[in-house]
Structure 1
Amino acid sequence: MLDEVYRIVQQRRDQSADQSYVASLFAKGLDKILGKIGEEATETAVAGKGGDPKEVVSETADLFFHVLVLLGYYDLPPERIYAELRRRFGVSGLTEKASRSQKSDAR
């Protein structure tokens, strides 16, 4: 499903901003897209705190959608995320996080 939504994002990005929400986000630029991700992440956190499963699902769907818009902005297909998750799969979260920290320290 994420791949299908991403394809629609890619199709709509060049449409008229008057006729497509996705196109309107692209027209407003990266800062607007990032702002929507921040907004949806906050709403997801609030829904999680509230404990209503329907709200958690709804807000998470909004968050995923806006992340797909960000990926579309950079022409990054969801497969790139899936590949990164596969790379991390089976590695302790603490170990993986430490390896990222070591990489940034080396820069």
Structure 2
Amino acid sequence: MADTDPLDQLQAVIRTRLGGDPATSYVAKLHSRGRAKIAQKVGEEAVETVIAAIADDREGLVSESADLLFHLLVLLADAGLSLDDVRAELHRREGLSGIAEKAARPR
């Protein structure tokens, strides 16, 4: 059996826990508090990731990046989106200059 990507595995676990008991599941607790709270957690983890990067804290950067990815996956699941949606967007952007792609976005 081929190895499954850890992010795909985590995404699957998160999806099964969204509707769980908030008393026993962190994912269910976040989900029950609403998308704004989940988004706030993504922001907090992003800031902690940046702080670790600026501090040149390699271990902290890895740990905070894992937290950031986890909370981002919770947010995507809450919104009915998946890594495949993000992958499709990345594929769409392939070969585009970052500057040109950003300039083409609706304002």
**1:48 offset after TM fit, Å?**
0.6
Alpha-carbon RMSD? 0.8
Q: Structure 1 length as normaliser, TM-score?
A: 0.91
Number of the residue aligned with 1:46 = 51
The yes-or-no answer on 1:65 pairing with 2:82 is no
Q: Distance in 1 between matches of 2:90 and 2:42?
A: 20
Q: Structure 2 length as normaliser, TM-score?
A: 0.91
Question: Which stretches of structure 1, 4 residues or more, deviate above 6 A after TM superposition?
Answer: none
Number of the residue aligned with 1:37 = 42
Give ranges in structure 1 of 5+ residues lacking alignment.
Answer: none
What code does the residue aligned with 1:85 have? Answer: L
Percent of aligned positions that are identical: 44
The yes-or-no answer on 1:55 pairing with 2:60 is yes
**1:25 offset after TM fit, Å?**
0.2
Number of the residue aligned with 2:95 = 90
Number of the residue aligned with 2:12 = 7
Which has the larger helix fraction? 1
**1:31 offset after TM fit, Å?**
1.5
**1:4 offset after TM fit, Å?**
1.2
User: Aligned pairs, how many?
Assistant: 102
